[in-house]
Amino acid sequence: MPALLFVPLLLLTAVPVAAQPRVVPVEPTVAAAGEAIVRRAPDQAFVTIATESRAPRPEAAQQANARAMEKVRRELRDQKIPDAAIRTVSFNLREDFDYTSGGRVSRGFVVTNAIEVRVDDLTRLGRLVDEVIKAGATSISGIRFELKDRDAVEREALRRAVEDARARAEALAAGAGLRIVRVQSITDQGIEAVPPPMPMMRMEARADAAETPMAPGEIEVRASVRLTAVVEPQ
């Protein structure tokens, strides 16, 4: 019998080739910082008004202070200040002492009640301060000026800061013989509002005295951004 001839069959198996990472070319960029300041006259003010009362007993001091603050609140209503524009910021009851070599001696109890008042018409601020002092306020403090539409002013400052950053980036690119193709990123670096100086106040009021002068000045809203732009040769 003839010998059987076995021919081995070679099975070819496809061996995957490792995928090569795709190289993404790095685009040349230029970065610049931009700043802007927007100045606006304030159109709103907040003022803290307080009454202080003293009595031998705590309940007597509290009742005396309640009467004093009610007179101040009544004057605020006469000045057309709505209740929604008034909020209590602190109420304090404490015992006062005189200290001697032999110890301490009670001088009675002191109650202080402080409210913050929002004034939307700055032309009336000086007269309002004078009238609440006449009504019995013993302390005027914390006057600060504000903008009713601060958000709009902040957005305006940001827009101008971006324009400044774009102009600076264009100048940098042009100096290197490049031109801006597109803006890659813009980062808000923060907004700062600088209030006008705090006005000085007088505490006494006379019937023949002139109205307390108020000089609101201007509020500065400062914005800063950082802009990165893709560039190419001119």
- 119 within 8 A of 44, measured Cβ to Cβ: yes
Which of 6-10, 201-205, 206-210 has the lowest average pLDDT?
201-205
% of residues, the chain, pLDDT over 90: 72
pLDDT at 201 over 50: no
CA 137 distance to own-chain centroid:
29
Report the run of H or E that residue 126 belongs to, with start and end: helix 125-135
Write the pLDDT tens digit of every residue in 26-61.
889 999 999 999 999 999 999 999 999 999 999 999
pLDDT at 1 over 60: no
* Structural domains in the chain, sorted by start: 27-41+149-234 (3.30.110.170), 44-146 (3.30.70.2970)
Tell how strand 86-100 and strand 103-119 pair up: antiparallel
Write the pLDDT tens digit of every residue in 160-169.
999 999 999 9
* pTM of the shown model: 0.74
- Report how far apart, in Å, the C-alpha atoms of 26 and of each of 11, 169, 228, 231 are: 45, 19, 14, 11
Residue 213: its pLDDT value, please?
A: 85
Among 42, 30, 18, which Cα is nearest to 143's?
Answer: 42
pLDDT at 206 over 70: no
For helices 58-78 and 125-135, give the axis angle rounded to 10 degrees. Answer: 150
pLDDT at 197 over 70: no
Residue 100 and residue 198: Cα distance in Å, rounded?
39
Residue 205: its pLDDT value, please?
A: 40
Residue 2: its pLDDT value, please?
A: 53
Write the pLDDT tens digit of every residue in 80-120.
999 999 999 999 999 999 888 778 888 899 999 999 999 99
